[in-house]
Amino acid sequence: MKKVITKMLALTALVLFGAGNVNGQTYHAITDGEYIELSQTNIEASDWITYDAANYSSRTKCNEAGATIPNLSKTDRYVTLYISGCESFTIQADGNNSPRYLTYSINDGTAIQTAAWPNNCNEQTFSTENTGDIKLVIAGVNGSVYLSGITFFAPSAPAISSFQVPYGDGEYIAATIDNENSTISAELPYGTDLTNIEPVITLQGTAKSYSPTGAQNFSSPVEYSIFASEDASGEALKTYTVTLTTEQTASTDATLSSITINGTAIEGFDANTTEYSVVLPYSATMPVVAATTTDVAASIATITQPTSLPATVTITVTAGDGTTTKTYTVNISMETAPKVLKEAVYSNGFKAFIKQSVTNGDGTTDDSQGTVTAYYLAGTTAPTVSAENLTCESGSAAIDEEGNIVVTGEDNTTKIFTVNVEAVEPQAASSATITFDGTETWIKNGYGYDSSKGWKFSKNVEESSNRRISEGKTRIYFFVGACKEVTLTTASGITSDRDITVAVNNVNIPDITTAPKTPGSITIPVNSTSPAMIEIVSAQTSGDGGFSSISIAPNSTTGLQQVAISSISFNGKQILNPEGLQVSVFDATGRMVINSNNTAISLSQGAYIVKAAQSTLKVIVAE
């Protein structure tokens, strides 16, 4: 049972648990199985744990009460614990879907990196190799791991913890150890020679050696003693009587205790169930099947490994009597290769929202097909996407005759993504501020509206379990009418600045890189005499951002234009030409001053005629 140190317990640690004071530093004497939740309250009440109070975070996955616990995200974030009498300790922490690590060091020795900490609450156990006074430092590496608590273990009592008896070709039988009565016993298969057996022995606690060593004659019981010295000298700590016997008749047990595929046991295996069907995740390599007999005297003929799938693997077991047999059958198939469409960028710069599956009418999920959705300004030409602007996480992508996107996996199976391209009526400029309520049809993103975070955007991290980027959760598109600028106000639930990128009609606005925390806002220059698409994309790997309202300032730029050139706009200083059309610009005298296909063409003050296609032109007066 865990012993949780509350604030009161921490304050009275000297009385309850005992503590030493070395050179002014208190060392906490642990009790076996003692647990401390590393909450801010517990740490700050302790004289044997230190941590920077600025780096606590509220986390509920390991701590149901939502305690504020250490966030170890880099090497300069660490918890230091001064303890004594600890042989091993178990760290309880919450990591992430992507690999995150911790390190630990003993008495300022080399920092040892742990295994990766998965998302949700997990545990890993480590040895101190020093039961005296210990300075234990647990630090972050790169990426947040939330340290929930630690369980401490005292040295175990001196004993033989394992007594393995060799049998057959590299196999061992584990003897039964009764520490209370100091006996060890095992029954070996029928016909085993007891006169020359060398067991493999493991000690625990303060036991360092045992006697006798080497092969022994177990035709009668043999006594084994354990010692605190390395050379089996001095007084014995404990003496065991070891009795080995053999079965009186040959075993008829022909069952298996497990069947594994690529090292993983078949789920729901039962020794009396002889047929199984297993569907494996897609892999370019063939699976390897292995099995273990229940009785060490039983044997398995060679397992014929599959060379293609689907395949049926049979495992025949022969019992120790040489005649009794049992056959197990495993039918193995493999899922089709994954076909994940990661990105589809349309000709107007819109990065489509991609769903890797569809929901059927009965609410079930169909992974055999997906959807791609893109948006554009109403009144302009519908954008298109080419195969060159499709990116796959796995497989390759093409566009079929019907305009659908087809992704082909490594196994040549295909998945069709149905394409939907929708026109959006822009929100007209007005002197009034618009407070969002989630009904805005001219705002598009894959994350949605929240009463606290407004129209929100997530961290810019793609995971198989949460495809934020491909689904459009990391970006927001605002479709607005001709205007001078827009001002977006940060929602009330955003407590820290968020790194972002901003583009107007697919042209980056380099001066805006941050959406400030509440209260705050950003003003984006548009300066367009035609409707515009504003894109805001998260540029950081943690946390959500969001906006609660917008002001769309009317345009002060004067001008006369024919709207036949739908892909070209003017922002007051530049002609925006995202499709790279050949553009000719004439001054007020009719002299051609520019002939270019640049995506952004700068103009000085004056009046211009812009021609980009036969019989189509725009007349613009720049401020």
Confidence label for 97 from pLDDT (cuts 50, 70 and 90): confident
399-427 tens-digit pLDDT: 999 999 999 999 899 999 999 999 999 99
Instruction: Give the least confident one: 334-348, 587-601, 602-616.
Output: 602-616
Please give the Cα distance from 589 to 601 (Å, whole number): 20
Buried b (16+ CB within 10 A) or exposed e, 382-401: ebebeeeebebbebebebee
Q: Alpha carbon of 39 to those of 86, 472, 553: distances in Å? A: 21, 36, 49
- The per-residue pLDDT for 562 is 40
Q: What does the pLDDT look like over 40-82, one tens digit per residue?
A: 999 999 999 999 988 888 877 788 766 899 999 999 999 999 9
Give the mean pLDDT of 165-170.
82
* Least confident among 474-478, 520-524, 548-552, 563-567: 563-567
Q: Which CATH number fits domain 159-246: 3.50.20.10, 2.60.40.2340, 3.40.50.2000, 2.40.430.10?
A: 2.60.40.2340
> 593 or 438: which carries more pLDDT confidence?
438
If you write DSSP's letter for every residue of 259-315 in order, what string do you get? Answer: EEETTEEPTT--TT--EEEEEEPP-SS---EEEEESSTT-EEPPP---SSSSEEEEE
Contact between 342 and 393 under an 8 Å Cβ cutoff? The reply is: yes
CATH code for the structural domain at 433-553: 2.60.120.260
pLDDT at 20 over 90: no
CA distance 145 to 334: 35
- Can you give the residue ranges of every domain in the chain? 3-153, 159-246, 256-334, 340-424, 433-553, 559-622
| pLDDT above 60: residue 367 | yes
Dihedral angle sign, alpha carbons of residues 580, 583, 587, 593: positive
Mean pLDDT of the chain: 88
pLDDT for the residue 599: 86
pLDDT of residue 153: 92
Query: How confident is the model over 368-392, as pLDDT tens digits?
Result: 999 999 999 999 999 999 999 999 9
Question: Running DSSP on this structure, what letter comes out for residue 13?
Answer: H
26: pLDDT strictly greater than 50: yes
**Which helix H or strand E contains 43, and what residues bound it?**
helix 40-44
Burial of 38: CB neighbours in 10 Å, binned 0-12, 13-18, 19+: buried
Q: How far apart are alpha carbons 622 and 327 in whole angstroms? A: 86
pLDDT cut 70: percent of the chain above it: 92
CATH superfamily to which 3-153 belongs = Galactose-binding domain-like (2.60.120.260)
Averaged over 299-308, what is the pLDDT?
A: 92
Taking residues 149-159, what's their average pLDDT? 90
pLDDT, mean of residues 126-138: 89
Instruction: Indicate the residue type of 309.
Output: L
Return the ∠ at Cα 114 (arms to 109 and 116), rounded to 5°: 155
**pTM of the predicted model as reported, rounded to 2 decimal places:** 0.55
**What per-residue confidence (pLDDT) applies to 560?**
40
Report yes or no: 510 and 503 within 8 Å, Cβ to Cβ: no
| One fold for 3-153 and 433-553 | yes
**pLDDT score at 9:** 33
Band (pLDDT 50/70/90 cuts) for residue 137 is: very high
Give the pLDDT band (50/70/90) at residue 345. very high
pLDDT of residue 587: 77
pLDDT at residue 107 in the model:
93
**pLDDT reported for residue 170:** 76
Region 256-334: CATH code: 2.60.40
